[in-house]
Amino acid sequence: MIKGLYREPTRSEIIELAAEEGHDADIPTNAGSIQNTPGNRSPTPKQAADGEKQSNLEFEKDIEKGLRPESLSSEEHGEEQSEESDPNIVWWDGPNDPQNPMNWPFIKKWGTVILVSAITFLTPLASSMFAPGVPEVMKTFHSTDDMLEGFMVSVYVLGFAFGPLIIAPLSEMYGRLPLYHSCNVCFMIFTIAAAVSSDMGMFIAFRFFMGCFGGAPLVLGGGTIADLIPREQRGTAMVVWMMGPTIGPCVGPIIGGYLTEARGWRWNFWFVAILAGAFTIMSMILMKETSGPVILERKTKRLREETGNLKLKSQLDSGLSPKHLFIFSIVRPTKMLTRSTICFIMSVYVAITYAYLYILFTTFTAVYTNQYGWHGGSVGLSFLGLGVGSLLGQFVFTHWGNKTVTKHIQQGDFKPEHRLYIMAQGGFFLPVGLFWYGWSVHAQTHFMVPIVGTGFVGYGLLTAFMPANTYLVDVFTVHAASAMAANTVLRSLCAALIPLSSQKMYAALGYGWGNSLLGFVSLLLVPVPFLLIKYGERIRARSTVKL
């Protein structure tokens, strides 16, 4: 019933697991909290939030120093078995405890991974699926406002900026499963509401709430996989899960183009709602809670009732009140963005490039309709280049990027800036793709020429996003989730708001010079990863950022 023999988790294991679960490492993962590793025994985060001193915690004093050499080895602190003397600490009933999600049967574990990956594919798919039907929506609501034409697509990603800030702390309090179920149901409800909207304001509001609740699997999915799959086998599951955010927004318009032509724009939402309903029912039947802290907390409550011992406490108890979880979830990312040089630079870089993706999403239909006379389902095919480029970018990052990092780790000279080599070379593809796409559309060359250009754009975007996330994890370690949340909020705001002026930009400058303007801005960003590779370590060494 109580904790017996167990292996003391290493610092690197806890930090890695916390990043995958989407929270900072001073909030317990399935492996425990960073504050309970040897040498870091400390007051709880609640005590820190209440103003008590934590002078013995270096990572609380300065958050921007990057990985320590010892955190690169899974052998730190040794692999020996230790025994906790406190009989009131509740832990798993041995290494084969069936309550531990790591010990679930193969089919149950991978069935959960596949279902979560399917839901994670659906919500990004919905972000752009109806883009080819935007002109039909404008006709239905008798609107000619160019700004609204773009905003009805990008407002979805605005929800991605705010929803996760609430979903993340709620999942720490109540577990992943209630959040999956409630957000799936709300996503389905607001998708149906968008399908039956009777005016533009109603439609945009429902799209926003779709994004808020649709962000749940993006927040929770990595943690679910980390709950179920051992570290050594996690790479495959993570690649499957990441396919949704990578190709969903690009595949969606292809489906939506033909669906709009056949049944009208509202059926894009009915299609998503039907799939969401099916996944919701399946998840309610098949999915179980996977969060170790929540499972052990429930076990602790049950044992208290059975034994009458009120001193029993879960090994993974965070000691945090709901209030402090919300403070950490909302205040920390804000502090990261405004006080950390590295986080600010990286977030601005990613936000601008991400905004370009939604500029293309909101204008492809008009571009290919006006310049190439495409109509109906064929308009969705214009998104194909972005999809192929994104897939290629993900493959190159996974293979070549990891190979480069592994080499430096083996040499013993790894530093977080080594993550940026692939971003440095990928940065050139974005301006090349924008110039290529803009002037080929302007000259009305064969339609495959601009589509190939957008393939370069897709490749450049992926080689910016993926290294940025891994770099933030390596730099901020304990507080990586807050850094990534800051990055997500800023990029979502930019992706929602910057595309609002894209139609006016193209009207004033044309497709050639309009996309060239975007290309020149992206050219100004090309030196950023090179500068961080050269000076990033120095910036971090001089950093005095405190949370």
Cβ neighbours of residue 177 closer than 8 Å, sequence gap 6 or more: 287, 288, 289, 290
Tokens of 25: 């490492």
Secondary structure (3-state) at 46:
helix
Question: SS3 helix, strand, coil % of the chain, rounded to 5?
Answer: 75, 0, 20
Residues 125-135 have a mean pLDDT of 89
pLDDT at 256 > cutoff 80: yes
Rg (CA), the chain: 24
Contact 547, 63 (CB under 8 A): yes
DSSP 8: P
Residues 286-307 have a mean pLDDT of 90
| This prediction's pTM | 0.84
DSSP 65: S
**pLDDT for 46-103, tens place per residue?**
444 444 334 334 444 456 666 554 444 333 333 334 444 578 888 888 888 888 999 9
CATH code 3.10.20.30 for 105-288: no
Q: Over the chain, what is the mean pLDDT?
A: 84
Task: Find residue 32's DSSP bridge partners.
Answer: 29
DSSP 215: T
Residue matched to tokens 């950390």: 340
* CA–CA distance, 441 with 515 (Å, rounded to integer): 10
**Phi, psi values for residue 312, rounded to 5°:** -60, 140
**Phi, psi values for residue 314, rounded to 5°:** -65, 140
Give the closest residue to 361 by CA, choosing from 496, 468, 486, 493. Answer: 496
Please report which confidence band the pLDDT of residue 138 belongs to, taking 50, 70 and 90 as the band edges.
Answer: very high
Residues 161-168 have a mean pLDDT of 85
* CA–CA distance, 392 with 265 (Å, rounded to integer): 31
CATH of domain 333-547: 1.20.1250.20
**Domain limits, CATH 1.20.1250.20, in the chain:** 105-288, 333-547
